[in-house]
Every structure is written in structure tokens, then in C-alpha cells.
């Protein structure tokens, strides 16, 4: 009955280690900067690794032409490209943070960040 307590203690220790590593990964992701663009850089969006949009750059010709509809089409595309890159950075950081830890179900949980299959 008490035989599994040693394993439980080890799992708790690993979970605590992973928690500290995840906090460090979150801090690192805040400083990562990714850029998504549309139509060869006509519209660019910068985001951090947490998926927070930091900046938007729009070519001046859009304002000169007053091509509002085209800009409205391109902006979501650039934002989505930046957020996809941020998600990739998140997945990499989470896998790195979890490296060496053997927690049940961890691979499946990380696959939600990376969009891939669990390890």
C-alpha cells in the first residue's frame, strides 16, 4: 500500500522542477520577438513569444492610395503569421523546459503547445 509513495514523491519533485522551468520559459518568451508579414512585407506585425502583439508597420503607399479594403485584408494575415511564429516559440520553450522530466501525460500536454503529437 505504501510502496508507491516513493514514486509519488519523485513525481512531485519533478513537477516542482518543471514549474520553475516553465516560469523561466515564460520570462524568456516575453523577450522573444517574431515578425509576421503579408504581401512581401507591405504589412508587418511584431509579437513576443507569448503571442502579444507589440508593433504594426504599414507601407506608406496604402495611405497614399487610401486602399483601406486591401489593408483590412492584409492586417489579419500578418497578425496570424506573427502569432503562428509565437506559438512555435512557445512550443520549443516548453519542450526545452520539460527536457529530462518524465511526468505521465507530459508529452500530450506539450503537443497542445506545439500542435504536434505527444512524445
- Predicted local confidence at residue 56, as pLDDT: 94
Asked if 75 and 42 count as a contact pair (C-beta separation under 8 A), the reply is no
CA 53 to chain centre: 12
Q: In tens digits, what is the pLDDT along the chain, a chain of 119 residues? A: 455 566 777 777 777 777 787 788 888 888 999 999 998 888 999 999 888 999 999 988 877 877 788 888 889 999 999 999 999 988 888 777 777 555 556 556 655 654 544 43
Asked if 83 and 67 count as a contact pair (C-beta separation under 8 A), the reply is no
Asked if 36 and 87 count as a contact pair (C-beta separation under 8 A), the reply is no
In a domain, 10, yes or no: no
What distance in Å separates the CA atoms of residue 47 and residue 45, rounded to the nearest whole number? Answer: 7
Give me the phi and psi of 34, to 5 degrees please.
-125, 155
In a domain, 85, yes or no: yes
Angle at 51 between CA 12 and CA 105, to 5 degrees: 30
For residue 51, give the CATH number of its domain: 3.30.1310.10
Amino acid at each position: 500500500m505504501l510502496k508507491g509513495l516513493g514514486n509519488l514523491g519523485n513525481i512531485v519533485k519533478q513537477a516542482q522542477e518543471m514549474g520553475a522551468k516553465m516560469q523561466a520559459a515564460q520570462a524568456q518568451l516575453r523577450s522573444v520577438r517574431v515578425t509576421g508579414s503579408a504581401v512581401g512585407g507591405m504589412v508587418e506585425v511584431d509579437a513576443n513569444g507569448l503571442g502579444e502583439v507589440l508593433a504594426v508597420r504599414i507601407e506608406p503607399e496604402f495611405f497614399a492610395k487610401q486602399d483601406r479594403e486591401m489593408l483590412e485584408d492584409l492586417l489579419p494575415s500578418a497578425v496570424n503569421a506573427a502569432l503562428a511564429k509565437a506559438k512555435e516559440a512557445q512550443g520549443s520553450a516548453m519542450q526545452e523546459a520539460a527536457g529530462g522530466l518524465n511526468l505521465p501525460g507530459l508529452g500530450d500536454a506539450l503537443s497542445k503547445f506545439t500542435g504536434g503529437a505527444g512524445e
